[in-house]
Structure 1
Amino acid sequence: MICVTGVSGSGKSTLVEDVLYNNYLRRSGNTSAEPGECERIDGLELIGEMVHMGQELPTRSMRSNPATYLKIYDDIRKLFAASPEARRLGVQARHFSFNVTGGRCEKCSGTGTVTIEMHFMADLEVKCDACDGRRFQSHILAIKLRNYSINQVLDLTVEDARAFFIHHPAIVKRLDALIAVGLGYIRLGQTTSTLSGGEAQRLKLARFLLADLEPAPAGEDGKYLPRMFILDEPTTGLSSTDIKRLIKVLNRLVTEGNTLVAIEHNLEFIANADYVIDLGPGGGDEGGRIVATGSPLDIAACEKSETGRELRRLFGLPERGRQVRSALRTAAGV
C-alpha cells in the first residue's frame, strides 16, 4: 500500500493520474488518454491491470442507487414478488423496477421528482405530486414485506437493511461490502448522483470487492500479474473508526497480491502505508519534486517534509535533529 503525499499543489494528481495512469492507458491502446510527459516508465509490463477508483460518479441516472448499482435490488424485487399479496394480484418482480412501466409512477418515471423548466433561471426539481415522491403506483406500495412497502425498504440505511434482511445471505453479503467501506449510513434508494466524490469512490470499491475476480492478464510466461488500484483520497468524509475499517479492506486486497496507490492527506491512513512518496516541498512552482520516500517513519525523519512534521506529531516524536533519529531507532527496535 503506497501513499503519495504532499501539500496541495505539490503534483500528486499529476504524477499518479496524468503520468502513471494515463501512460498506462495509452500503452494499453486507449488513444483518447492524454498522458503526462515523462522520459519513461519502468515496469508497466509487470502490472496485469490498472484500476482507477476516482471520485467521479458511477452514473448520473436519477434511477440509479446503491441497491441497483450493487445488484441488491434484483433480490429485493424477487422477495416482494414472492409475497402472498403480489401473487394474488399477479404482480411480478419487473413491476418493482424503476425502468419499466407497470409499477412505477409514470408521471416521474420512477424518479420521485419532476423537473419544472424555469425561464431565465435554473430548472427546478420538485417532489412528484402523483406519487408524493414514493416512485411507485399505489397498488405496488400496498404490497408489504414484513409490514414494509418497497419504498420504505429503499429508505432504509444500509445498516438497518442488513438487520431487516438478516435471513437472506446473498443480500447481507452485498450490504456488508458497503459497511466495510464506510457506507453503512447511506440509504439503499439514495440516488447515486447525490453522493459525494469520496462516497462514489467507495461505492465503486465495494462493487469491485464483490466481483468474482478473474486472474489479471498473464505475462509472457503465463504467470499471474497483480493489479494496481489507484485511489484519490479514499478517506474523504470518514470518521477514524471508518478509516480503520477501510484500511482493513484495502489490506485484504494487498494480501491477495495487489498494489494500491493512494493520493492521501489523512495522517492515520498514511501511517498505515507500506511505502510513502512525499512530494513538494511546496505547491505550484515549488512542487513537483521528491522530498522523501520510504516507510512512514522514514518520512517522519525528514525535517524538510511537511508530511514528516505532521507524522512526528502523530507518532509523538521530537521535532528536530538527533532526537528524532534516536527516537526512530528506538521505535524500530534498533
Structure 2
Amino acid sequence: MSERIAVEQKFLPDLLGRLSSLARRIFLAGGILPIVLVVAIVGFAIAEPRFLTYNNLFNVARASSFLVVVSMGQMLTLLVRGIDMSIGSTEALVSVCVALVMATVLAGDPNAPWLAIAAGIGAGMAIGAAVGAINGIGIAVFNVNPFIMTVGMLSILSGIALTVSGGMPMYGMPKQFGEVFAYAAPLGIPAPVWVAGGVFLIMYYILNWTPFGRRIYALGGNIVASRLAGISTRLHMVMAYVMCSVIVAVGGVLLTARVGTGEATLASTHVLESITAVVIAGVSFFGGIGRVGNVVLGAFFVTLVTNGMNLLRVPSYQQLIVLGVLLILAVVVDQVRIKMMQQVRAE
C-alpha cells in the first residue's frame, strides 16, 4: 500500500506537469483559438441538433470561405503593426465595379460572357491593388496612422461605391459568373472553398518560404532593426497593404458572384469579423507574430459561431455583442500571450 501511495505521489505531479507544459505550448502556438473552437462546436451541437448535419456544415464551409479570404488579407496588415478598416468598403467598391464592367461588356457583345467575366474580375483586382497602394503609401511614406488612413479610405470608397451605383443593386452580369464562382461544387466542395484554399496555399508559400515573407515578419517584429538590416521597410509596408487589398478584392468578387448583383453595402460586417478572426487566431496586434493556418481556423470559428447563433435564433444585434466580446477577449489574451512569450525567451 505504501509503495502504491509513493508511486501515485510521484506519478500524478509528473503527469500534471507534463499536461501543464503541453497546454502552455499549445497556448503559445495558437492562442485561445483551440479552446474556444472546441467549446463552440460541443456547445452548439448540444443546443441545436441541426448544427452538425451535413447540410449545415456544407453551408458553414461555403460561408466561411469569404471571411477566410478577407481575414488572410487583414493578417498581412497586422503582421506589419497596421490594420485595414477599409476592407468592407473595398469589397463593396469591387462588387459595384465588377458588376458594372461585366454588364457593359456583355451589353456590347452578348455572346462573350467569359470575356465579360474576365474583364470584370480584372477590374476588381486592379481596384484592389490601387486601394492597397494608396493605403500603403499614406502609411509608409506620409506616416499617417494606419487606423486613421484606412478609416478615411473607408469613407471615400463607400462614397464612390454609392455614387457609381446610385445606391441601387447593379444587375446584368453573365449567369455563368454565379454558376461557376458561387454555386459550382467540384468533387462536392463549393467553388468558394476551392478559391479560399488556393489563396491559403499562396499565402502559406509567401510567408513561410520566400524572403519577402521573412521580411514582413521582421518588419512587424522590429522596424528599426529591419531598416538597419538593409530591408526597404517602406516598400515592404506598401506591398503588404497592396497584397491585403488584392486578396480582399478576391473576396469581393466571390461575394458578388454569391449575391448575383453589385452591392454598394456589401460586406459591412467584415471589418469586425476579420479583425476578430485574425486576433483570436493568435496574430498579434504588436506585429510579427501569426500563422496563416490559424487565421483560416479563426475565420471558420467566427462563421461557425454566427451560424450557431442563427440556428438558435439569436437576434442580429445580440450577435454583434458576442462578436465584440470575442474581440476584446482575444486582445486581452494576446497581451497575456505576448508576456508569456517574452518570459520564455528570457529563460
| TM-score between the two structures when normalised by the length of structure 2 | 0.24
Higher percent of residues as helix: 2
Scaled by the length of structure 1, the TM-score of the pair is 0.24
Greater radius of gyration (CA): 1
Higher RCO (CA < 8 A, seq sep 6+): 2
